[in-house]
Structure 1
Amino acid sequence: MRKAMWVAAAAGAVLLVAGCGGEGGGSGKDKGGSSASSSGSTTGGSEAGGGDSPDAATVKKEIDTAATAAGFTEDPSGDAVPAELKTCMVSWTADAEKAADPKKSYDATVTALTGGGWKEGRGTDQAGSTIKTLNKGTWSLKASNHGAAGFAIVMFIGTDNTPQCEALFKADLEKNKKS
């Protein structure tokens, strides 16, 4: 199941990049949830959250700092990023069972990230699940909180939307299609 999650995450990142750079990707007024355009810029623009882009280690550290300050601890059994994608993707899974109030901790984490320069984009909130997109430079971060009676899953998955990383995500998808 973990392999399927990575295929889905990589596919989402590729679709996000491929669908937002041109004219057919959205409503036109939804710039906040868009990723970097296909122009090849690696410094980010207004669509990607603007400013200089952090690297994967910085993104991971920012998530860890915000989440732990909000009352989460990282679940060591969370999904590991495949070695070939480590410069383009980060994953941080909360041990939501140890948090006093996972929903409050999730909201506090998102607030801390936006206070640290991440720009909030698209979000959905329905049926006990909240997913928000945050952008910084060429990075897009999916912050998700899924809760129902008896369980909670809180994850933060970041992807770098540069052309180089897009190529790595596509290669990973192709490799996984064949397995």
Structure 2
Amino acid sequence: MRKAMWVAAAAGVVLLVAGCGAEGGADKGGSSSAGSASTGGSGEGGSGSEKLDADAVSKQLTEAATEAGFTQDASGEQVPAELKDCMVSWTADGEKAADPKKSYADTVSTLAGGGWTEARSFEQSGSQIKTLKKSTWQLQASNHSAGPLKLVMFIATDTGPECAAVIAENNAKNKTSS
């Protein structure tokens, strides 16, 4: 149950960050092109932009991460059943990767080559967090492998209105049941 609440909270943070960036705020360079691409892909069919679903995002993420040298950590955060269509969580087994930092960079690079655009990047104390966007999806790629704990996670959330409503409802339900 704690994992489900954590994943739902993470989804809320991803949506909050997505909402803040969509207001024309602090993003510099590339934000207008990322916004245009996501806007075009979020409508009924988009103009040449594919509408992704959770299975397609999971497949792209799994292929990029395993090609980069990661194996999935089966004990990683699991997405609650009610959010399966709106969220994908993929935790790398950082201990098994020969060079987690390189594998993280290679995963992000492969995703960028597959049409994901970088919206934000943050680095502090050896940790890296990158936000990538494609269609209505936003992906938080986190690398915290510089210290003794080798944690590398990828959490993708569909920021479209249907999923935003489902995630908000799930977060409210978990908040009242705590």
Question: TM bucket by the smaller chain?
Answer: 0.7 to 0.9
Of 80, 83, 103, which aligns to 2:78?
80
Aligned counterpart, 1:157: 155
TM-score when normalising by structure 1: 0.85
What's the TM-score, normalizing by structure 2?
0.85
Identity of aligned residues (%): 50
Query: Aligned residue pairs: how many?
Result: 171
Q: How far did residue 42 of structure 1 move?
A: 5.5
Judged with a 3 Å threshold, the aligned counterparts in structure 2 of structure 1 residues 66 and 28 are, in CA distance, closer, same or farther, namely closer
Q: Which amino acid aligns with 1:26?
A: G
Deviation at 1:53, TM superposition (A): 2.3
Assess if the C-alpha contact under 8 Å between 2:141 and 2:155 holds in 1.
yes
Q: Is the 8 A contact 2:4 2:80 kept in 1?
A: no
Q: Which residue of 2 aligns with 1:144?
A: 142
Contact 2:91 2:152 in 1 (8 A): yes
Alignment correspondent of 1:8: 9
Query: What is the deviation of 1:2?
Result: 2.0
Please report how far the alpha carbon of residue 43 of structure 1 lies from its aligned counterpart in structure 2 after TM superposition. Answer: 5.0
Residue-by-residue CA offset, 1:91-129 (whole Å, 9 max, x unaligned): 000001000000000000000100111111101011121
Of 94, 110, 113, 2:111 maps to 113
Q: Secondary structure at the match of 2:141?
A: strand
- Which residue in the other structure is 1:172 paired with? 170
Q: Deviations over 1:32-59 (max 9, x none)?
A: 676956xx736569xxxx9222110010
Asked whether the 8 Å contact 2:94–2:145 carries over to 1, the reply is no
Deviation string for 1:125-168 (max 9, x for gaps)? 11121000111101001110012432210011000011000000
Distance 1:14 1:171 in 2: 13
Asked if the contact 2:27–2:119 (Cα under 8 Å) also holds between the matched residues in 1, the reply is no
Unaligned runs of 5+ in 1: none
Give the structure with the larger helix fraction.
Answer: 2
The letter of the residue matching 2:71 is T
Q: Is the 8 A contact 1:131 1:142 kept in 2?
A: yes
Query: What's the C-alpha RMSD, in Å, of the aligned pairs?
Result: 2.4
- Choose from 32, 40, 43 the match for 1:41: 43
Q: Secondary structure at the match of 1:108?
A: helix
Query: Which 5+ residue runs of structure 2 have no aligned equivalent?
Result: none
User: How far is the alpha carbon of 1:10 from its aligned partner?
Assistant: 2.1
